């Protein structure tokens, strides 16, 4: 007959590096999908349409539908 004991050590600590990385992911993703108007991805915009008419800012157009669906302000 075998008997098994288990000791579990729990910790309430949260690794700071993990928090920093996740905060970075949060800021980058929410800004890119929810708020970018060509500030970060302006290089995808042809020279004549920087920040201007919808249809020219390709990065914006690419994540456009999700921005609307998630309720962020958009055109």
Partner 1 sequence: MNGEMLNPIEFDNYRIWQKVGEIAAGTILGLSIGSLFGIVFAYSRSSIPASSNKKKALILAGIMWFVLFIIPALKYPANPPAVGDPETIYYRQNLYIAYLAISGFSALGLAFLYRKMKAAQAKKVIVPVIYAAIMATAYFAMPSNPDQITAPMDLVTSFRIASGFTMSMFWGLLGITLGVLWDKLRPHETARLSMR
- What is the Cα–Cα distance from 49 to 37, expressed in whole angstroms? 12
- What is the Cα–Cα distance from 73 to 33, expressed in whole angstroms? 11
SS (H, E, C) 41-53: CHHHCCHHHCCCC
42 binds partner 1 (CB under 8 A): no
6 binds partner 1 (CB under 8 A): yes
Of 47 and 61, nearer to partner 1 (C-beta) is 61
Residue with token string 């390709």: 58
17 binds partner 1 (CB under 8 A): no
Least Å distance between CB 47 and partner 1?
Answer: 19
34 binds partner 1 (CB under 8 A): yes
40 binds partner 1 (CB under 8 A): no
């Amino acid at each position: 007959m075998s008997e098994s004991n288990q000791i579990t050590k729990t910790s309430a600590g949260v690794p700071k590096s993990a928090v920093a990385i996740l905060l970075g992911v949060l800021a980058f993703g929410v800004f890119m999908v929810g708020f970018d108007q060509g500030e970060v991805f302006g290089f995808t915009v042809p020279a004549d349409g920087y920040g201007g008419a919808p249809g020219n800012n390709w990065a914006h157009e690419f994540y456009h539908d999700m921005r609307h669906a998630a309720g962020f302000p958009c055109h």
